[in-house]
Amino acid sequence: MQLEFFGGAGEVTGSCHILVVGGRRLLLDCGMIQGGAAPDERNRAPFPFDAAQVDAVVLSHAHIDHCGRLPLLRKRGFRGPVYTNPACRDLARILLADGAAMSERDAERVNRKREKAGDARRVEALYTLEDAMAAIQLMRVVRYGQAVEVLPGVELTFRDAGHILGSASVWLTLRENGVERRLVFSGDVGQYDSPILRDPETGPAADLVLMESTYGDRLHRSREATLEEFGGILRAARRDGGNVLIPAFAVGRTQEILYELAMHFEAWELGDWQVFLDSPMAIEASEVYWKHAELFDEDAQAWRARLRSLPPLPNLKLCRSPDESMAINRITNGAIVIAGSGMCTGGRIVHHLKHNLARPECDVVFSGFQAQGTLGRAIVDGRETVRIHGSPVKVAARVHTLGGFSAHGDQQDLLRWHAAIPGRPPVWLVHGESTAAEGLRDALRGQGVHAEVAVPGRTVDLAGVPPVTVQ
Ligand SMILES: [Zn+2]
């Protein structure tokens, strides 16, 4: 009975851990590495195991850094079941299809460049749409709270992690040679009291917890302050007469923003705006959200039940085609445009920035983390001029960053989640940069919890972990 840290140990992406029980091999997530040094090479590198020898995968949620290498795993010989939540499967279908399209485009670009340079070598896409859909075919859905034996000696229960729709923490009971241990893998844990989703859930006592630490050393701005700021920005923008651009992530953030716009429709005087959701992927993801209202919290369920029709705002236009997107460029005043990508590294938001960024009466509202080196980061950092499609564009629009919209819990949320598990089990911290993981480790230790930061390649003998007893 052994756990090995592989991906997402010491970093935030590429979540993947290897569990061996009774000679069977189970993966917890099989995520894509994003950002950092040479992510493409690292994603292409051989797995430290034979993919054909993996017996099953448990998928915590649909974010690409958790499911992005499933198609590759299948391509390399894996044929076992992938256990996941029904909503997670619906979202993974959208995200993996997008990942495949991106990977195929990237490979084409590299190959064109090589051809021009007289280089005969060719690269293959990391995976194709066909590979992605074949991975989706392997998925077996399990609802929250339903206990399932996924391999001999391995019983699984998903619990709502409150991070994105269908996200789960994974509660496992492992049995081997008369020894039983209970292992919990947090997946990504959401914020408590966030809109739409239920609060992160926990379950019965565990002997060991594998826990994310993305914001392990930080506290988010409060939801109330964030909403007050958002409302203020929109009211001021209407007075000043311009457009508001919201670069948004397709899954999670977009739906939260739409929900808050709907909930504050009167208070924020949104009636005479035109609101555009300008992203085919975000539209598809929103439709999955609206379809799975059974997973909403009480407020959102009541709101969904009151809705007579979809989309949820009377003045929301869903822009699927490039023509519909380009038509927005003719509007100079009174448009709220929600478009991807969230960090402005590509997608339709870049065109809207090109048309609006140099106009002082416009606003750009960021709602999430902007990584170093992205266009979004350059704008947030206050650069006077940025380059878009090779040309300089002056940044004259007002730029705002809303702090409270994270899909991840902060240190307080993570401590609260752990404290709700009976017996205060020991923790291995994963899915965090070292300072974040160490910050959470120290905070847990301060509460008398045994906590360590995981490193890739390190193995833990689970039978050797003392069982936790709860009085
Ligand atoms: Zn996530």
The answer to whether the beta carbons of residues 386 and 378 sit under 8 Å apart is yes
**What is residue 268's predicted lDDT score, i.e. its pLDDT?**
96
* Three-state SS at 172: strand
Rounded distance from Cα 396 to ligand 1 centre (Å): 33
**How many angstroms does the Cα of residue 197 sit away from the middle of ligand 1?**
14
Mean pLDDT of 312-324: 95
- Is omega for the bond preceding 392 within 30 degrees of 0, making it cis? no
- pLDDT-derived band at 36, boundaries 50, 70, 90: confident
CA–centroid distance, 466 to ligand 1, in Å, is 30
pTM: 0.92
Mean pLDDT, rounded, for 239-251: 94
Cα 13 to ligand 1 centroid, rounded to whole Å: 9
Q: Which residues contact 325 (CB under 8 A, 6 or more apart)?
A: 278, 319, 339, 348, 351
What's the 191 CA to ligand 1 centre distance in angstroms? Answer: 12
DSSP state of 221: P
- Tokens 């651009």: give the residue: 245
CA 61 to ligand 1 center in whole angstroms: 7
Is pLDDT of 73 > 80? Answer: yes
CA-CA-CA-CA torsion for 351, 356, 362, 367, nearest 10 degrees?
20
Residue 229 C-alpha from the chain's centroid = 24
Average pLDDT over residues 17-43: 90
Q: Assess whether pLDDT exceeds 90 at residue 80.
A: yes
Q: What is the pLDDT of residues 229-241, one digit of tens each?
A: 999 999 999 999 9
Give residue 63 CA to ligand 1 midpoint distance, Å: 5
d(C-alpha 454, C-alpha 192), whole Å: 25
| pLDDT of 9 strictly over 80 | no
pLDDT for res 405:
87
Distance from C-alpha of 222 to C-alpha of 84, rounded to nearest angstrom? 31
pLDDT tens per residue, range 357-398: 999 999 999 998 787 788 999 999 999 999 999 999 999 999
Q: What's the CA-to-centroid distance between 278 and ligand 1, angstroms?
A: 23
Ligand 1 center to residue 220 CA distance, Å? 17
When the pLDDT of each residue in the chain is averaged and rounded to a whole number, the result is 94
Decide if pLDDT at 8 tops 80: no
- Report the separation in Å between the CA atom of 31 and the middle of ligand 1, taken as the mean of its atom positions: 10
